[in-house]
Amino acid sequence: MTSAQLYTIESIASLVGGEIYGNVNVKITSLSIDSRALQLPEESLFFAIVGERHDGHSYIADLYQKGVRAFVISESESTNSIDCPDAAFVLVDDTLLALQKLVCQHREKFTYPVIGITGSNGKTIVKEWLYQLLNESYSIVRSPKSYNSQVGVPLSVWNMSADAEMGIFEAGISQTGEMERLAEIIKPTIGVFTHLGDAHNENFKGKLHKLKEKIKLFSSCESIIYCSDEPLIGKALQVEYGNKKNNITWSRKHPADLKVVSERISGGQTHLELKSFNEKKIITVPFTDRASVDNAILCYLCLQSLRVSDQIISKQIQKLEPIAMRLEIKEGINDCTLINDYYNSDLGSLEIALDLANQQQTDKKTTLLLSDILQSGYSDKKLYALVAKMLEQKKVDRLIGVGEAISAQSKMFKCDTSFYRSTDVFLADLNRNQFKNELILIKGARPFHFERISNVLQYKAHQTVLEVNMSAMVHNLNYFRSLLTPSTKLVVMVKAFSYGSGSTEIANLLQYHRVDYLAVAIADEGVELRNAGVTIPIIVMNPEPHSFDTMIEYRLQPEIYNHSICADFEKALRRNGVKKYPIHIKLDTGMHRLGFVEDDLAQLGDTIKDNDHFFIQSIFSHLAGADESQHDDFTAQQIDLFNLWSEQIRKHFPYHIDKHILNSAGIERFPEAQFDMVRLGIGLYGVSATHQEKLMNVSSLKTTISQIKEVAKENTVGYGRKGQLQSDTRIGVIPIGYADGFNRKLSNGVGKVVVNGKLVPVVGNVCMDMSMIDLTNVNAKEGDAVTIFGDDYLVSKLAEQLDTIPYEILTTISRRVKRIYFQE
């Protein structure tokens, strides 16, 4: 993240209490904690944060090669073996604390209002809506996306500048002691508490304990805004602050500064009658769900506290727009890939979006469609100079700028460029053939309505889509990582089209998050990943002799499971003149599928120990029943057998050989058997054997209602006339059938889908491309969304209907079903 202010490395060392050595002439505007997300390297200060499973010090050499010349480190020996002749190093005891201390000092320079937002839900929504409501009156700096953590908050507050007139920052915590540090960094003058929910309860003694920790954000606040219908909040604030704060409350139930007298839903809006200090207020919120209405009321109170007139508040709230909480990756026209982020346009979110684009690791050129960036706190000249540097560093090939301001700064940019005064002018001039085989990032401020551009460039195909939540996948990855010791390596299974989720997109995400290995079923899957730019080691779990030459060419590592496959692979290595090639030995300890058995071990050792064509990278086996407690004795027997056999092999070799036997269920249920490595499969995709509540749903299969018709009783629906109607029925036709992976066994009421929050049954036989559902008791219209499975109706429920397992559901979703990838 970048500040408008320039700091010398000497001043930074003084502010954080660090010892400086090396080049003392370096000047800093940008802070970084992630070697993969780097902005303005020559002006960046990299903090080598040390985490449980990563150490930023290990990336110093790579960052130096990318142009970074300033580092905050906690290990002086980290740079002894690195040739960094013109770099500056600041040595501190704790790099995270140093980052926070630096930004605390930076925050002290500014006296304008700062709104600090916390709570269990709604923090980002309230922050973004406040920005929407206030950005015409104030130049605002705010957290990009949901940067509310111990590193996200300081990176956000670093963006404060003298040109801004207000700050809006959110803060989230997951354990005791975190909020005091964030409170010192943000130092809000106005506090907003959104809602007290159950997120992160596991690290607190209870709801009250978590609440007391959260409200520590408000220690510097003059006013605190919250809903008094959650009585714990008011009690906790009274205990913590007494009468020292100006508490501003709203309520549906009790007397408050703002009382909701009535609510009426009409035409997709909620009409509110409010009472404020005995005055009647009427406002209209352009949403009908309770959470959105609550968040809008908090915003109303916040604007009141800033003395914005009722007339302006009422007018502005009617303009509130949904917050795009996700970056979507979609298939575009002419073999293009689209990344949609057309509701946000600021430096921080631009950097995040460009990092996601780079994460795709494709050989496609990158085109950025960018609108004017509004209310940045910078002059246009400074702002677009920073944007130009960012685009150069992120290797953007082409920029299409839309808006008067960016067009006026056209000479700043070195890549291919074209500029348009408005979205209308761009669309009028658009030739779809000018976009071919490229990655297009669409990044626009709300007033430019870039969704119109996205609609034109998006490939229009099947209305049935599989949405893949990449943020949820990362959450699940981190959950399983939290169960591992820091030294345990991680293999992630991406076979079978990544369990139906898509291969290259998922593999690139996992590579970005530095898993140790990927595993595929057959060589062709591995070749596809290599062609997509995946470089980390890939294991082929079911190698076939005819593919060995291809595997060697593409650096794919085979599972070796019997003597003949071992001999065939050795022949291939000799034929290609290759030596010291890694292989993975599979042992059959009870699954009775592929693998060597005990009688094979002696010959196996003799074959490999003196052979210079390959070496054993790992030895592994597969658990047959780790997900069911009834098989625990058998699982323990498998683990013991594996340990015994693998040690018999390892004793023949002077080098280290990794061992692994745990799958997803095993990671959760048998942590003592982690050995050197584990294999994560279905757990990554949101299915757990024991702790489903710890995981997030990743995949949602959705479609729409194509047609609705009234069918009289005693008629039939579908092939074979199997849908016998007992009463007049409202039938909906949806464009999904067994060719899409919607199993024909779901016919005739066995299967159910979700329409507008209600479960409705399938009527008649599922067809190849369509199915019929009963909408008699649902308020639905043509074009409404239908969920086959998703967040509110998990794939495991569909599996129960079919008496099968989630694996089968996910892997049978047809490739003709369009995958849409999004990142929160």
> Helix/strand/coil (H, E, C) string of 443-470?
ECCHHHCCHHHHHHHECCCCCCEEEEEH
Q: What is the pLDDT of residue 770?
A: 94
Band (pLDDT 50/70/90 cuts) for residue 144 is: confident
DSSP states along 247-304: EEEEESSS--SEEEEEEEEETTEEEEEEEETTEEEEEEES--SHHHHHHHHHHHHHHH
Task: Please write the tens of the pLDDT for every residue from 559-572.
Answer: 999 999 999 999 99
Average pLDDT over residues 336-352: 77
Q: What is the pLDDT of residue 757?
A: 87
Cα–Cα distance for residue pair 194/124, rounded to 1 Å: 10
Q: Is the pLDDT of residue 37 over 80?
A: no
Cα–Cα distance for residue pair 382/360, rounded to 1 Å: 29
Residue by residue, what is the 3-state secondary structure of 91-126?
A: ECCCHHHHHHHHHHHHHCCCCCCEEEEECCCCHHHH
Q: Is the pLDDT of residue 450 over 90?
A: no
Beta carbons within 8 Å of 434's beta carbon, 6+ residues apart: none
User: Does the annotation flag 679 for ligand binding?
Assistant: no
User: Does the annotation flag 768 for ligand binding?
Assistant: yes
> Higher-confidence residue: 388 or 329?
388
Cα–Cα distance for residue pair 88/694, rounded to 1 Å: 42
Q: Is the pLDDT of residue 6 over 90?
A: no
Q: What is the pLDDT of residue 345?
A: 67
Band (pLDDT 50/70/90 cuts) for residue 110 is: very high
Q: Is the pLDDT of residue 500 over 90?
A: no
Annotated catalytic sites, by residue?
495, 719
Pairing of strands 398-402, 416-420: parallel
Q: Is the pLDDT of residue 79 over 60?
A: no
Q: Is the pLDDT of residue 77 over 60?
A: no
Cα–Cα distance for residue pair 720/746, rounded to 1 Å: 15
**What is the percent of the chain where pLDDT is above 70?**
95
Q: What is the pLDDT of residue 103?
A: 96
Per mean pLDDT, which range of 49-53, 330-334, 727-731 is the poorest?
49-53
The answer to whether residues 353 and 444 touch, using CB atoms and an 8 Å cutoff, is no
Share the mean pLDDT of the chain.
Answer: 89
Band (pLDDT 50/70/90 cuts) for residue 3 is: low
Cα–Cα distance for residue pair 466/810, rounded to 1 Å: 10
**What is the percent of the chain where pLDDT is above 90?**
58
Q: What is the pLDDT of residue 200?
A: 53
Cα–Cα distance for residue pair 419/431, rounded to 1 Å: 15
Cα–Cα distance for residue pair 11/28, rounded to 1 Å: 10
Q: 3-state class of 207 per DSSP?
A: helix
Pairing of strands 785-789, 699-704: antiparallel
Per mean pLDDT, which range of 101-105, 334-338, 475-479, 491-495 is the poorest?
334-338
Cα–Cα distance for residue pair 103/182, rounded to 1 Å: 10
Cα–Cα distance for residue pair 232/196, rounded to 1 Å: 9
The answer to whether residues 543 and 583 touch, using CB atoms and an 8 Å cutoff, is no
Q: What is the pLDDT of residue 806?
A: 87
Task: Please write the tens of the pLDDT for every residue from 629-642.
Answer: 999 999 999 999 99
Q: Is the pLDDT of residue 688 over 70?
A: yes
Average pLDDT over residues 380-392: 89
Q: 3-state class of 27 per DSSP?
A: strand
Q: Is the pLDDT of residue 317 over 90?
A: yes
Give the H or E element holding residue 16.
Answer: helix 9-16
Q: What is the pLDDT of residue 739?
A: 92
- The region, left, alpha or beta by phi > 0 then psi within -120 to 50, assigned to residue 189 is alpha
Q: 3-state class of 716 per DSSP?
A: strand
34-38, 112-116, 449-453, range with greatest mean pLDDT? 112-116
Average pLDDT over residues 602-617: 89
Band (pLDDT 50/70/90 cuts) for residue 455 is: confident
Beta carbons within 8 Å of 130's beta carbon, 6+ residues apart: 115, 168, 299, 302, 303
Q: Is the pLDDT of residue 43 over 80?
A: yes
Q: What is the pLDDT of residue 539?
A: 96
- Number of Cβ within 10 Å of residue 601's Cβ equals 18
Band (pLDDT 50/70/90 cuts) for residue 375 is: low
402 forms beta bridges with 371, 420
Residue 85 DSSP one-character state: T
Q: Is the pLDDT of residue 325 over 60?
A: no
- The region, left, alpha or beta by phi > 0 then psi within -120 to 50, assigned to residue 372 is beta
Q: Is the pLDDT of residue 36 over 80?
A: no
Q: Is the pLDDT of residue 497 over 80?
A: no
pTM as predicted: 0.70
Task: Tell me how far apart the 2 most distant CA atoms of the chain are, in Å.
Answer: 91
Band (pLDDT 50/70/90 cuts) for residue 78 is: low
Q: Is the pLDDT of residue 614 over 80?
A: yes
Q: Is the pLDDT of residue 772 over 60?
A: yes
Distance, C-alpha 291 to centroid of its chain? 22
Average pLDDT over residues 787-816: 89
Nearest by Cα to 292 from 312, 313, 315, 263: 263
Q: What is the pLDDT of residue 459?
A: 72
Q: Is the pLDDT of residue 197 over 80?
A: no
Band (pLDDT 50/70/90 cuts) for residue 711 is: very high
What domains can be seen in the chain, in order of their start residue? 2-98 (3.40.1390.10), 110-317 (3.40.1190.10), 328-457 (3.90.190.20), 467-694 (3.20.20.10), 699-823 (2.40.37.10)
Give the H or E element holding residue 581.
Answer: strand 581-587
Q: What is the pLDDT of residue 202?
A: 61
Q: Is the pLDDT of residue 359 over 90?
A: no
Task: Please write the tens of the pLDDT for every residue from 528-558.
Answer: 888 888 899 999 999 999 999 999 999 999 9
55-69, 237-251, 355-369, range with greatest mean pLDDT? 237-251
> Higher-confidence residue: 383 or 378?
383
Average pLDDT over residues 565-588: 94
- Number of Cβ within 10 Å of residue 112's Cβ equals 15
Band (pLDDT 50/70/90 cuts) for residue 29 is: confident
Task: Please write the tens of the pLDDT for every residue from 233-250.
Answer: 999 999 999 888 999 999
Task: Please write the tens of the pLDDT for every residue from 270-301.
Answer: 999 999 878 898 999 998 878 889 999 999 99
Q: Is the pLDDT of residue 81 over 60?
A: no
Q: What is the pLDDT of residue 324?
A: 61
Q: What is the pLDDT of residue 122?
A: 87
> Higher-confidence residue: 682 or 2?
682
Band (pLDDT 50/70/90 cuts) for residue 75 is: confident
The answer to whether residues 284 and 300 touch, using CB atoms and an 8 Å cutoff, is no
Distance, C-alpha 353 to centroid of its chain? 12
Band (pLDDT 50/70/90 cuts) for residue 61 is: confident
Burial of 200 from C-beta contacts in 10 A (0-12 / 13-18 / 19+): middle
